[in-house]
Amino acid sequence: MTVLHLADAGEAADLAAFLSRLVHYDRAAAVRLQAHGTTLAVFGRPPSFEVLAIRTARLAKPYENGLEVTLDVTVSAGELLESVDESAATAAVPAAVTGPPWAGVLPPRGGWRQEPGLPAPDAVRAMVAAAVTEFRSRTEELAPERRTRAELDRVGREIWSRPIGDTGLPVRAAHAAQSLGFLPPVPPVASSAAQQLPSGESPLALYSSGAWLRLRTPFGSVAVRRAGLGALDISVR
């Protein structure tokens, strides 16, 4: 069995927290794992947000015996979560599963360039809060006979597809980042991830590569495919 040795207990705890959130939204969630050297990337797609979430973790070494140099496999998020041993800072890779469609369509690794126009973190959080409030208000105002799944989805698409500021990034990407713990309600000034940022650099940044947009935070990224640039208007990798 392949065993991943994470850099420390904190990396293991962060990985477990991310997996727990994915399983919360989908008990049958799958994740795609890619390891290169001492970096592990975990990709998941919470169904409620139509985005791809990316969490990276530092590895002490690629594998138990140090024989392999790469890893690329899709596994059950729940089984991987159960295998995480925080005290030992290890995780056993479960048996591969048939990957969902999104797992086979990932954004490029390189070619990313930073995009302007992303508001300050507090403004992004305020946008998400306003969108949540509007969605609740509008759906509660619907007559019982109109409160169908189709109508709720229509209202949701209208609200969550709105761009953030002058960017093409939909509000749902920031909502997903917040719900997955990438965008905490309080600025993470005391966290190790935030402390690694250069002085004066925003904890949020927007990047693009081809058809993809990626919201980067100190805790993970959320990627979406820009509307009108292909058949899959979903987020991945």
Query: Which domains are seen in the chain, by residue range?
Result: 3-104 (3.10.150), 114-204 (no CATH)
Task: Supply the pLDDT for residue 70.
Answer: 79
Span 3-37, pLDDT tens digits = 999 999 999 999 999 999 999 999 999 999 999 88
pTM of the shown model: 0.85
43 contact partners, CB below 8 Å, separation of at least 6: 31, 32, 33, 34, 52, 53, 54, 103, 106, 236, 237
Task: Supply the pLDDT for residue 233.
Answer: 39
Going by pLDDT thresholds of 50, 70 and 90, the confidence category of residue 157 is: very high
